[in-house]
Amino acid sequence: MTYNRGTYDDQKLFGQHSVKWIEKGKPDAGKIMIFNNGFGRMDGNYSSVDIIAPQMDNAGKYIWIPANHISPASPLNGHTPILYSRLSTQAVSQVLNDSPMVIP
């Protein structure tokens, strides 16, 4: 596991990519959105768009305690499964001003 944090039993990301901060003025602004391919999940293979909100201190720096796992333990939205069994796109998901999320 990356950085020796966690095991397969608590792994949440499987082939993740296109990580980006959600822009100001959009729903969930300041949080982090991740496209998670999902290959190798314990509950079956499916892609999802996950949003996380790592803990931050008053100075806006991420909180990390070396003896613990990196937070958060789970995405805020659980996993938002992509409802198509075959997805082929040249663009990646994004948050819009009037909608929580769009997947092209």
Residues ≥6 apart with Cβ < 8 Å to 59: none
What confidence tens digit (pLDDT) does each residue in 56-87 have? 788 878 777 666 555 555 666 555 555 544 44
In a domain, 89, yes or no: no
The whole model's pTM is what? 0.63
Within-domain flag for 103: no
Decide if 92 is inside a domain: no
Cα–Cα distance for residue pair 12/69, rounded to 1 Å:
12
Q: What DSSP letter does each residue of 34-78 carry, written as one string? A: EEE--TT-TT----EEEEE---B-TTSPBP--TTSPPSPSS-TT-
- Give the model's pLDDT for residue 80: 56
Residue 90 placed within a domain: no
Per-residue DSSP letter, 102: B
Better pLDDT: 97 or 15: 15
Within a domain: 79: yes
CB 47 within 8 A of CB 57: no
Domain extent at residue 39: 1-83
Number of structural domains (the chain) is 1
Residue 68 lies in a domain: yes
Task: Assess if residue 88 is contained within a domain.
Answer: no
Strands 48-52 and 32-36: antiparallel
Q: Is residue 32 part of a domain?
A: yes
pLDDT for 67 equals: 62
For the beta carbon of residue 32, count every other beta carbon within 10 angstroms. Answer: 17
